[in-house]
Structure 1
Amino acid sequence: MLKHLGQVGLWLSRQGLDAADLDEKRVNQHLSDLQQAGRRRVAGPRGMVPLMTYLREAGVVPAPQVTPSPAEVLLERYRCWMESERGLLASTMLRYANTARRFLTEQAMVDGEFTPEGLTGADLNAFLLRECTRVSAGSAKGRVAELRSLMRFLHLHGAIPMKLGGAVPPVGGWRFASVPPTMAASDVQRLLDHTPRDRTVGVRDYAILILVARLGLRSIEVARLLLDDVDWRCGEIVVRGKGRREDRLPLPADVGEALVAYLSGPRPHLKARHVFLTCKAPRGPIRADLVGDVVERACLRAGSSKVGPHRLRHALAADMLRHGAGLTAIGQVLRHQDLATTALYAKVDFVALRAVAQPWPGTEAA
């Protein structure tokens, strides 16, 4: 990045321009000039985004003067409504806004003009059918809630004449209709064993993996973990879960050792009190999606099929069930609010189910 900055500075000098004259158009011209000069390795426009972002934050390059489109204006009003009227979290507002942008772009644009007043129930059905072909049933149910929220906002603010929220069809998806995907405890252990711990990244990844595998933490719970959440004297850990819940869990010895090994290494001097930090600049707390990357890299090293962090959570519940733990205990470890959610894992204990299964009429028991 320093090399890119130096090249841009030399190019501006040759062109007789100042840093304040720099924008995306001139950056593209600079990259084109480098290619015409025979440079073999030239960054693309996306590679220059961090540089332009830094220069704008430092006040060296003025912010671009962009006139928002009518759709962007409406989406900004929608975000403000979700925050002020509905009190949604930032992550939830981002998901709702992304669905709203995609829906309005696909269904409310006619010949390049933004016409939300012409939306109908058929537009909602068409969009939802397309979504169902590419996402799971659970995600499709989320699209229903997101679309109904958008329709409520559009009607309240006079963008559409009719209440179209009731026109959003529900998505079929019945509880206990399927067996939750899981994996054997040996496969989980293989992921841990194939995680190298000779470098800082490996030590951090191992600590993340063992937290997910032994305590069933969600990705966002790993990312939210603070240094003050680990009570070393009592051997407990505070987990900040869904709905602003805080639960205390016992800290197993192997999990504690993995955390000590990671926290004993060099750490940057940051104001953030998060346990897990990025290992590359810009240094700071990890995002929740990094946990999925850690699990994916572990699967590649172990030669296993790719799974997500939630699969390790399912594996923990299945292993506890096989070792005789009751559903109440499993629900406490996984921090389920409803025992009916935990009951879903009773279906993965095939050994116990075979003991109570009745033979099919007219056949002998297997």
Structure 2
Amino acid sequence: MPQLLSSLSEAFLKALQARQYSPATLSTYAIDLAHLLELVGEADPAGLASHDIRRALATLHARGQQPKTLARTLSAWRSFYHYLARQGFVAANPCLGLRPPKGDRKLPNALSVDEMAKLLEGPAEAFWSLRDQAMFELMYSSGLRRAELIGLDVGDVDLDASEVTVIGKGRKTRIVPVGSQALAALRAWLPRRGQVANDTPALFVGARGGRIGATALRLALNKLAVRHGVTAHVHPHALRHSFASHVLQSSGDLRAVQEMLGHASLSTTQVYTHLDFQHLAQVYDRAHPRARKK
């Protein structure tokens, strides 16, 4: 008996949940599968061909979805069919060989070294300022994603070894160095953390004593930027972008940056080489006598 798309989608999402995918990732998969259901109807997935998937993508593109979003959607559909094939529900994956429309690749929003120094200018003294200083020093020092920072427990940081153990995308674990400024900020925060923390192992806690949330993290960063007079647009991921850009500018070691960022593919890290070239081009324009505009 043919299996319907909706029931198989639910089974796929439950399988991802069992593999401890994050709530945000599960929500994104659910949205992408809902698009597929809307566009092809309550069909048997085994009856769909590549032209059906291509038509569905074209419809989403006509609605104004950006190439980056379409690439993510196609990836979700491809993973869904890969699951169906493993479970024996389909014989072939109609998403294989399809590519979303190309779009302009935007450079990550990275702050300059001077802007980062201004943002993290210390010392912090007030209770929540100590927490914020530790959070954002660590985020910049080790190139952490927002969810990675929020998910840290006290035991994940080894101050003696100057390392932090991070659980990244796909539940992959990596160990990242922690710089001296971040270590100093953590040493200032940890003795004070217990004043507000409830029964939680979370390294960074919010006003109610539980693990800090994404909104509180963003608001704390906004307040820090305003307090220190940083006019550039600052968001949590910009600290990770700044880490990658600055380390690459100093070392030129793309592979090392890839490992520290936890990128599965080197091509993802290579976008920072464009940032690095942009920096070099600006230096050239300012310094070379034949490059200066009259």
Scaled by the length of structure 1, the TM-score of the pair is: 0.59
Q: Which runs of 5+ in 2 are unaligned?
A: none
Matched residue SS, 1:320: helix
Contact (CA 8 Å) 1:223, 1:288: kept in 2 or not? Answer: yes
TM-superposed deviation, 1:334: 3.0
Deviations 1:321-351 (A, max 9, x none): 4435533443344344544444432332345
Task: Pick one of 311, 331, 339 that aligns with 2:258.
Answer: 331
Matched, 1:80 2:14: yes
Contact (CA 8 Å) 1:124, 1:168: kept in 2 or not? Answer: no
Matched, 1:285 2:211: yes
**1:146 corresponds to which residue?**
76
**1:45 corresponds to which residue?**
none
Matched residue SS, 1:264: helix
In the alignment, residue 117 of structure 1 is paired with which amino acid?
A
Aligned residues: 273
Contact (CA 8 Å) 1:219, 1:292: kept in 2 or not? Answer: no
In the alignment, residue 117 of structure 2 is paired with which amino acid?
Q
TM-superposed deviation, 1:248: 2.8
Matched, 1:101 2:34: yes
Instruction: Give % identity.
Output: 23
Matched, 1:89 2:21: yes
Contact (CA 8 Å) 1:124, 1:167: kept in 2 or not? Answer: no
In the alignment, residue 147 of structure 1 is paired with which amino acid?
W
**1:275 corresponds to which residue?**
203
**1:171 corresponds to which residue?**
100
In the alignment, residue 345 of structure 1 is paired with which amino acid?
Y
In the alignment, residue 14 of structure 2 is paired with which amino acid?
C
Change (3 A) 1:298 1:129: farther
Contact (CA 8 Å) 2:205, 2:211: kept in 1 or not? Answer: yes
The range that moved more, 293-302 or 230-239, is 293-302
TM-superposed deviation, 1:207: 1.5
How do 1:157-236 and structure 2 match up within 5 A?
165-166=94-95, 170-173=99-102, 179-193=107-121, 197-200=125-128, 202-236=129-163
Cα distance in 1 between the residues matched to 2:284 and 2:232:
32
TM-superposed deviation, 1:171: 1.6
Cα distance in 2 between the residues matched to 1:77 and 1:186:
50
Name the Cα RMSD after superposition. Answer: 4.2
TM-superposed deviation, 1:285: 1.9
Matched residue SS, 2:43: helix
Contact (CA 8 Å) 1:128, 1:143: kept in 2 or not? Answer: no
- Relative contact order, CA 8 A, sep 6+: which one is greater? 2
Matched residue SS, 2:155: helix
Matched residue SS, 1:79: helix
Deviations 1:98-121 (A, max 9, x none): 3323554x547xxxxxx5239955
**1:242 corresponds to which residue?**
169
In the alignment, residue 191 of structure 1 is paired with which amino acid?
L
Contact (CA 8 Å) 1:180, 1:314: kept in 2 or not? Answer: yes
Scaled by the length of structure 2, the TM-score of the pair is: 0.71
**2:220 corresponds to which residue?**
294
Structure number with bigger Rg:
1
